[in-house]
A = this chain, B = another copy of it.
Amino acid sequence: MSTIEELIRQKSFPSEQYKAIIHLLYTGNWVYNQSATRLKKFGITPEQFNVLRILRGSHPTPLMLQDITNRMIHKSSNATRLVEKLRLKGLVTREICPTNRRQVDITITAKGLQLLARIDEDQKEWPELHHKITRHEARELNRILEKLRS
């Protein structure tokens, strides 16, 4: 058990709220790293995983790049470049939309779906994390985070 005070060697904070915000940043990064470590053996990053899940969600309907961006956790991620990485691995296809040549239709491939299935199978994504807190605590966390952003 390590407190945020121990983790960043800081004895005190100006307020409980201030500490919570630093703690939030720290823990967000921690969760990200946990996820990155787990995904490494599958050859993809958390951002690429996020894009693949989004595409699976709409499959077999393709999504244009803007739709992907809108659904991403990090809005300012560059979907063009992430999708290109996935395309090079054969996990998605890109096609210029015939009715509007400005937009590009992205579709997850069979290989992409299989990879997601393997990841789900292997670890059901983040099993430990999901059981660390109770359903009630998760509801509280969601409520407080929403209030913070309001």
Q: Which are the 10 A-B pairs with shortest beta-carbon distances? A: A28-B28, A20-B138, A16-B138, A17-B138, A17-B130, A20-B141, A27-B145, A9-B71, A16-B135, A132-B148
CB distance from A132 to the nearest CB of B (A): 5
The stretch from A29-37, A83-91, A95-103, A111-119 touching chain B is A29-37
| The one of B22, B57, B73, B130 that contacts A29, using a Cβ cutoff of 8 Å | B73
Residues of A at the B interface (CB closer than 8 Å) are 1-4, 8-10, 15-33, 57, 70-74, 76, 125-126, 129-133, 135, 137-142, 144-150
User: Which residues of chain B are near A27, meaning CB under 8 Å?
Assistant: 24, 28, 145, 148-149
B24 touches A145 (CB 8 A): yes
A149 touches B30 (CB 8 A): yes
Give A131's nearest chain B residue, CB to CB: B17
Please name 29 pairs of A and B residues whose Cβ atoms are closer than 8 Å in the assembled complex, sorted by A: A1-B146, A1-B150, A2-B149, A8-B71, A9-B70, A10-B57, A15-B138, A16-B138, A17-B131, A17-B138, A18-B125, A19-B138, A19-B142, A20-B133, A20-B138, A21-B126, A21-B129, A23-B141, A24-B28, A24-B31, A27-B148, A28-B28, A28-B29, A129-B148, A133-B147, A137-B144, A140-B140, A140-B144, A141-B144
